[in-house]
Amino acid sequence: MNCYEKIGLQRVINASGRMTALGVSTLNESVAKAAIEGGSSYVVIDDLIDKAGEIISKYTGGEDSCVTSSASAGIAISVAGIISKGKKSIIERLPDSTGLCNEVILQKGHVVQFGAPITSMIRLGGGVPVEVGMANSVAIEDVEQAITDKTCALIYIKSHHCIQKGMISIEKMVEIAHKHNLPLIIDAAAEEDMTKYIKMNADLVIYSGAKALEATTSGFITGNKTLIGYCKKQYKGIARPMKIGKEGIMGLLQALENYTNKDLVSYVKRQHEIVSYLNDEISKIKGCSAREIQDEAGREIYRSQVVIDEKNVGKTAVEIDKLLCEGNPSIHCRTHLLTQGILSFDPRPMVEGDKELIVEKLRKIVEG
Ligand SMILES: *Cc1c(COP(=O)(O)O)cnc(C)c1O
C-alpha cells in the first residue's frame, strides 16, 4: 500500500506522461535525500537563492538564474521583474500596474492552457497580455505593429499545446524583440534541452522542475543577469505566495545533477523491457494487438501501442480507457488516438509492479 492508499485514495498508475493532474513525476532516491537534508538545517534563504542561481546557470549557460516554485510562477515572476525593474515602490504595488509599461505580446496560437491559462500567469505578474495575429497564422508585422511604448516584453510559448504551423519562429521573435530593445521570454516548461534557448539569445527562459528533470515541485528562470536580479526581488512582492522552500531547492539542484549524468542507455533499455513485457502479455488478450512505437517527435521514448479490435472485443477504446481509469488501481494511458481505437502506454512514469497490474486489469475489462 502506498501512502495515498493509506489515507483512502486510489492507487494511480501513470502510463501517460508528465501529467500535473497525476503528480507530474516521481522522486529518485537521491533527490528525496537531498530534499530531506535541505529541510533538516537552516540557511540564509537569500544566500541560498543566489547560490542555487549560480549552480543552475552552470547547467543552462544563463548568466544567472532564479529558482521558483513552478514554471507558472516563473512566468508571473519574469513579467513582474521586467515591469518593476527592481524598483521597490513598483514591486510593492504589483500586480496593479496601472499606467506602467506593462504589455506583453504573444502570438495568438500560443494563447493556450497547460492546465491553467498562460494569460493568467502574465496577469498575475502585472502584465497585460496582447494577443497578435490569428490562431493559425501570425505575421511579423502583426508583432511589430503591436509594439508600442506600453510594451514591456515578448513571450514565446514552446509547447505541444500551441499551434505549430503558421507561427513566427523563436529566431524571428528574438530578432524583433531586440530590434525594439525589448526582452524575449521563452516558456520552455516541459522542454528537455536546458541550454538551447539561451544559445538562441532569449533573455529569460523558464523551466519546470518536476517535468523533464523529475525534481521536487519547483522551477527556474535562467538568462540575463540584470533581469534575473529583478526577478529575485519579487520574493518581497508578488512572488511571496509562490515561494519555494529550501528542501525544494535542494531537490531541484540534485535533480539537475542527475539529469546531466543521466545514463541514456539504461534509460532506454528499461523502456524496451517494460514495453516488451506489455506487448507480449497484451497481445494474448482477446482482440488486442500491441507493438512498440517510438515517440512521434522522434525523442528517445518508446511506448506500447495497443490496437483494439472493437467489434471482436465488444467495447470501444474510449470505453476501455474509461474503465481503466475507474476503480482501484486507476490506470491512465495515453489517449490521443483513442477515437481511432488505439491506446498507448508510456513506460517512463511506471513504477515497480505497474506493468503487471495494467495487463491484469485490461484482461479483466476485455475478457470479463
Ligand atoms: C507544464 C507547463 C507549464 C507549467 O509548469 P508548472 O511547473 O507545472 O507550473 C507552463 N507552460 C507550459 C508550456 C507547460 O507545459
Structure confidence at residue 327 (pLDDT):
86
Pocket-forming residues, ligand 1, beta carbon under 6 Å: 20, 70-72, 114, 157, 159, 161, 187, 189-190, 208, 219
What is the rounded distance in angstroms from the CA atom of residue 322 to the CA atom of residue 329?
A: 13
Give the total number of structural domains in the chain: 2
CA of 121 from ligand 1 middle (Å) equals 10
Residues 133, 159 contacting (CB under 8 angstroms)? no
Atom index in ligand 1 nearest the CA of residue 190 equals: 15
Residue 265, Cβ neighbours under 10 Å: how many? 9
83 and 148, same domain (yes or no): yes
CATH code for the domain in which residue 226 is found: 3.40.640.10
What is the percentage of the chain residues whose pLDDT exceeds 90? Answer: 94
What domain range includes position 284? 3-23+263-367
CA of 113 to the centre of ligand 1 (A): 9
Q: What is the CATH number of the domain that holds 312?
A: 3.90.1150.180
pLDDT given for residue 300 in this prediction: 86
From the list 165, 115, 157, 161, the residue with the least C-alpha distance to 136 is 165
Residue 201 shares a structural domain with residue 288: no
Find the 168 Cα to ligand 1 centroid distance in Å. 21
226 with 88, same domain: the answer is yes
Rounded to whole angstroms, how far apart are CA atoms 192 and 248? 20
Domain contains 132: yes
Residue 346 CA to ligand 1 centre (angstroms): 20
Which atom of ligand 1 is least distant from the CA of 73? Answer: 9
Q: At what angle do helices 45-60 and 246-260 cross, to 10 degrees?
A: 20
Condensed to tens digits (0 to 9), the pLDDT of residues 214-236 reads: 999 999 999 999 999 999 999 99
Give the model confidence (pLDDT) of 245-293 as tens digits. Answer: 999 999 999 999 999 998 889 999 999 999 999 999 999 999 999 999 9
Contact 187, 155 (CB under 8 A): yes
| Ligand 1 atom closest to residue 162's alpha carbon, by position in its atom list | 13
* C-alpha 18 to ligand 1 mean position (Å): 10
Clarify whether residues 87 and 187 are in a common domain.
yes
Q: Which three cell numbers stand for residue 357?
A: 497490474
Q: Is the pTM of this model over 0.85?
A: yes
Q: Are residues 275 and 153 in the same domain?
A: no
Please say which residue of 234, 260, 286 terminates a domain.
260
Q: Which three cell numbers stand for residue 257?
A: 545533477
Name the residue of 155, 159, 205 whose CB sits within 8 Å of the most ligand 1 atoms, as the mutation to test its pocket. 159
Distance 50 CA to ligand 1 centre (A): 23
